[in-house]
Amino acid sequence: MTQKPQAKYRKDYIAPSHQVDELSLTFELSPRNTIVTAVSKFRAAAGASQLVLDGVDLELQSCQVNGKEWHTREQTEAKLILNELPAEFELTIVTHISPQTNTSLEGLYLSDGAYCTQCEAEGFRKITYFMDRPDVLTTYTVTIIAETKYPFLLSNGNKVEEGTLEDGRHFAKWHDPYKKPSYLFALVAGSFDVLEDTYQTKSGREVKLALFVDKGNLHKAPHAMTSLKKAMAWDELRFGLEYDLDIYMIVAVDFFNMGAMENKGLNVFNSACVLASQETATDQDFHTIESIVGHEYFHNWTGNRITCRDWFQLSLKEGLTVFRDQEFSSDLGSRGLNRIDAVMAMRTHQFAEDSGPMAHPIRPEKVIEMNNFYTVTVYNKGAEVIRMMHTLLGEENFQKGMQLYITRHDGQAVTCDDFVNAMMDASGVNLTQFKLWYEQHGTPRLNVVTEYDSAAQRYTMTVTQQHADSDPIKAPLHIPFKLELLDEQGLSIPLLTQKGEIQRALDITEFEQRFEFEQVATKPVPVLLEDFSAPVIMEYNYSTDELLHILRFARSDYARWEAMQQIFMIAVKAAIDSGDYSLDSKVLGALSSLVKHLKGDLALLAELLSLPTFDTLASQFKTIPVDALVNVSKAFESQIAQALQQDLELAYTSSTESGSLDAQDVAVRAFKNKALYYLVRTDSTLVEDALRTQFASDNMTTKLASLKAVVSAEHEKMEALFSEFDSQWRHDALVMDKWLALHASLPNDEVITKINTLYDHPCFEKGNPNRVRALIGSFTRSNPAQFHRIDGKGYELLGDLLIELNGINPQNASRMITPFMSWRRYDETRQKLMRTQLERLASLEGLSDDLYEKVEKALAQ
C-alpha cells in the first residue's frame, strides 16, 4: 500500500464554518461533459473567513465570489479552499463532470442511457464543490437542461417551470421547499414509462404518485405502487406521520449499488427492488419490494425531515427506519415470519461482523470510507436497539417519544443521543445505562442457570452477561429479557416475583442477577429470550426434550422456530463430535408429526423444516469445520427426506393454491416448495410429475423452486431445465439473475469453470452490481463447499474479481470482500489461502479507500 487514507473520528466533530441559505444548481447534461453551475449564499459562523469545500473528480471552470473570480484559493485532490472571504457572500462555481465514464455509480452517472444520481454518503462532492456533510441544510432549486431524447427531467420537490430552449433542448426547474443536506439531492433524466396514481393523506391533501420504469416494464410496476400507498397509510395510522410534498416519485434504474435511496420526493431504486410480476418475481421478491418501498418512504420523516448531524450517527436514521419497516411488514403480514427473517440476518451476518475485524458499535467511532459503514451492525443491530427501547417503554410511551423527537428536532441534523433523550423525556424511563448499546461493539453473551425448588414452588434464574474480550467499555448493558415459562401441559405460568408480576420483560442491568419466580407448581420449561428480545447470544443447557416441548407449546411462533433451530444445532454438534451422522429419531418424529398435522401457518412450517444455514451453524464454532458442516447438513437433509417421504408426498398433493399473492397461497407455495426440495432426494414417484408441472408454471416462485430443487440434488434434469430457462428468459436480466445465482450454487467441482464461462454470457456484466451479486455473491454465500474448496480456487476466483471491481466500482468491491473478512475463523490451510488473496489486494496499485480500510483491518494482528 503506497499512501495511507486518513481516518475520521467521531470525537473530532466540529460544527460547520458556514451556513448555506440557498443553493441553485443548473445542469447542462451531456455524457462526457456535463456543466454544473452552483450558485449559493453563504453566511460565516463565528467570523470564519476560510471556506473548505469538498470536491472529487471535478474539473473546476470558475469560482466567483459576489460575481468576481476568487483567486485567493487553493485546490487539492478532494478540496477547494477559499480564503479571505467576507462574512456573507454569493458563491458561483462552475464545474465539468463526465457521467459516462463514472462507473462508481456514485455522483452523477449513466444507467443504461438514463442520467441518475446517488449522493449518500459523500457522492454530492462528485457533482460540484460543496460542504458535503449532513449537517449543512439548505433549500435547493434545480434546473436541468437536456436534449429532448430525455423526456423526463426530474429532481427533488415540486416542478416550478419547464420549457423548450432555442437550441432545441428542453429544461425543467424544480424547487424543494424543505431544507435538506446534499446527500438527499437527486436528479434523473431519461425516457421512461410512468405509472401514475394519487394518495389522499389523512388530512385530506392529494399527493401525486409517479413510478418511472424502463420502457416496456409498466406491467411490473403496480406492486411497488400498491406497496407505497400501503406504507403511506400505515405511517399515518401507527406513527401519525403524513407525507409533506405534493408529489412522490420513484425511479427504477438498472445500475445501482444498493437497494434504493430515499432522496427527498424522488427516490431512486434498484430496478430489482421495484419490478415484479408473478411470472418474473418470487413471493420473496414481492415481500422485499414492499419492505424496501416502505423503508424509503419512512425515511421521509426518520432521515429526511430529521437527519444525522454527522455520519457517525447513521444508525439514528437507519436503525430507526429498519425498525419501522420491520413493524410495517409485521403489521401487514406475519409477525412471526418477519421476526425469523430479522433474527436470521442478525445471527448469520451481524454476529459474524461483530466478531470480525470490521466490528464496530452501531455508532462507529472511527471511519475511513463512510460507504463501508452501511452495515448489518448500523442497520440491523441498530434496529434491534430501537426494538429494545420499544420493549422497555411499550408502544404507547414509544410513540410519545417519537412525537417528542419530531417536535423537538424537525428540520434539524441531530445525534443518536438526541433520539434516546426524547424517548427518555417522553416516557420517564431512565435510559442512561441503555445508551451503552451505542458505544459497545461485539455480541454480549447471556448465560442462564436455573434451579427449581419443588417444596417452595420456586423457580430461580441466575443470569450473567459477558462481553467480547475486545470490548473497551467493560460495563454491564441494560438488556430487556423476555421469557415464558411453560408447565408440563404446555400452559403459560404467570411470572410472579416478590415485586409483582412481570408484564413485559425482565430488566437485566448487572453483570450477574438472580430472579425468583413464586407459585411455580411444577418444574417449568423456560422459553428464554423470547422473540430475541435483545441482540445477544443465549447460553442455556437445553435438552432436546425441553426444546421439543417449546416447539409444541410456546406462544411465540418465533420461539417455536428457534427451538427447532436449536434442536438441529445440538444434533449437528453431536454428529461432528461423534462422527455418527444419524439424526435422532425423536427429531425426525417431531418433524413428521408437524407435516402430518399440517396445521397453522404453512409458511412457518416450511421454516421449521429448514436446517440452520451454513453461516448460522458456522457461528457456533471457534474454527469453522467447513467439510463436516456441509456433510452433516447433507446427511441430515437426506434422512429427513427419507423419513418424511410419505408425509411429504401426502401433504404435497393435498395442499393446493390458486397462484394468487394472498398470504394463504404464498404459504402453501412455500411449504410445497420445501416439500419438493426434500422429495427430490428420494425415489418418490411423485417427483417427476411435480418437477414438470412446477417448471411449466407461469408463477416464478413455483417454477424457480423446481429448478432449485434439481440443482441442489444434482438431479439428471438439471442441464435441460437450465437451458430451457435461458431460452425463455434471456431478455429479462432480473430473471436471469436468478438463473445465474442457481448456477453459482451448483454443488460440484465444475462450478468454478461454469462461473468463468458465465462471465461471457450475454446477460452478464461486471459493471452491474446486480449481476455480480447474483453470480459471485451467491457463490460465496450459498456454496460454502466450493467457495472454501481446499485447492483455493474459490478464493482465487473472488480475489480476481475484487481486483477488477476495485477499478470499476470500489463500493461493490468492498461489499463483495465480506467473506474474506472472517478468514481467521477457518483452518490453517484455508487461512493461508485466503490471506494470500488479501495480500494480493494489499499490494495492489491504486487500491481504493473502500478496500484499503477492510484489507488493512483484516490483515492487522
Return the number of the residue (318 or 607) whose C-beta is nearest Zn ion: 318
119-129 burial code (b ≥16 CB/10 A, e <16):
bbbbbbbbbbb
Element (H, E) at 118: strand 114-118
Minimum CB separation of residue 357 from ligand B3K in Å reads 20
Q: Pick from 135, 176, 318, 665 the residue near ligand B3K by CB under 6 A.
A: 318
Report residue 377: phi and psi, to 5°: -70, -55
Q: What's the Cα-to-Cα distance from 150 to each of 115, 189, 269, 570, rounded to whole Å?
A: 9, 6, 19, 60
User: Annotated catalytic, 716?
Assistant: no
Q: Cα angle vertex 748, ends 746, 753, to 5°?
A: 80
The CB-of-249 to ligand B3K minimum distance in angstroms stands at 16
Question: Which residue lies nearer to ligand B3K by CB, 121 or 221?
Answer: 121
Q: Which does 258 bind (CB under 5 to 8 A by kind): ligand B3K, Zn ion, none?
A: ligand B3K
Stretch that binds ligand B3K, among 219-227, 256-264, 342-350, 679-687 (CB under 6 A): 256-264
Helices 663-679 and 686-696 cross at an angle (nearest 10°) of: 130
- How far is residue 803's CA from residue 820's CA, in Å, rounded to a whole number? 14
List binders of ligand B3K among 71-130 (CB under 6 A).
Answer: 120-121
Contact pattern for ligand B3K over residues 270 through 299, marking x by CB under 6 A: -------------------------xx--x
Q: What is the C-alpha separation between 133 and 153, in angstroms, rounded?
A: 26
Contacted entry of Zn ion, ligand B3K, none for residue 54, CB cut-off 5 to 8 Å set by kind: none
Q: What is the DSSP string of 360-387?
A: --SS-SEES-GGGG--HIIIIIHHHHHH
Per-residue mark of binding to ligand B3K, 373-402 (x: CB under 6 A)? -x----------------------------
Cell, residue 621: 464454532
Closer residue to ligand B3K, CB minimum distance, 120 or 290? 120
Residue type, 581: Y
Please say which residue, 143 or 371, places its beta carbon nearer to ligand B3K.
Answer: 371
Q: Which is nearer to Zn ion, 321 or 694 (CB)?
A: 321
Q: Which is nearer to ligand B3K, 29 or 186 (CB)?
A: 186
Q: How far is the CB of 19 from ligand B3K (least distance, A)?
A: 24
- Residue 132 within binding range of ligand B3K, rule CB under 6 A: no
Question: Please, what is the minimum distance in Å from the beta carbon of residue 667 to ligand B3K?
Answer: 28
Nearer to ligand B3K, 58 or 314 (CB): 314
Coarse DSSP helix, strand, coil percentages of the chain, rounded to the nearest 5 percent: 45, 20, 35
261 binds, among ligand B3K, Zn ion, none (CB under 5 to 8 A by kind): ligand B3K
Query: Is 615 one of the binding residues for ligand B3K (CB under 6 A)?
Result: no
What is the spatial distance between Cα 819 and Cα 823, in angstroms, rounded to a whole number? 7
CB atoms within 10 A of CB 678: 25
Neighbours of 262 (CB within 10 A): 24
Q: Strands 34-44 and 88-97, how do they pair?
A: antiparallel
- Residues 155, 307, 329, 371: which binds ligand B3K (CB under 6 A)? 371
* Neighbouring residues of 822: CB distance < 8 A, sequence distance ≥ 6: 352, 356
Catalytic residue, chosen from 122, 296, 318, 649, is 296
Query: Under a CB-based contact definition with an 8 Å cutoff, are residues 853 and 9 in contact?
Result: no
By a kind-dependent CB cut-off of 5 to 8 A, residue 313 interacts, out of Zn ion, ligand B3K, none, with none
Of the listed pieces 57-65, 87-95, 254-262, 417-425, which binds ligand B3K according to CB under 6 A? 254-262
Q: Choose, by CB under 6 A, the member of 54, 262, 615, 850 that binds ligand B3K.
A: 262
Q: Which of the residues 293 through 332 are near Zn ion (CB under 5 A)?
A: 318, 321
Q: Does 258 contact ligand B3K by CB under 6 A?
A: yes
| Cα separation, 123 vs 106, whole angstroms | 5
Interface residue list for Zn ion (CB under 5 A)? 318, 321
What amino acid positions are annotated as catalytic residues?
296
Interface residue list for ligand B3K (CB under 6 A)? 120-121, 258, 260-262, 295-296, 299, 318, 371, 374
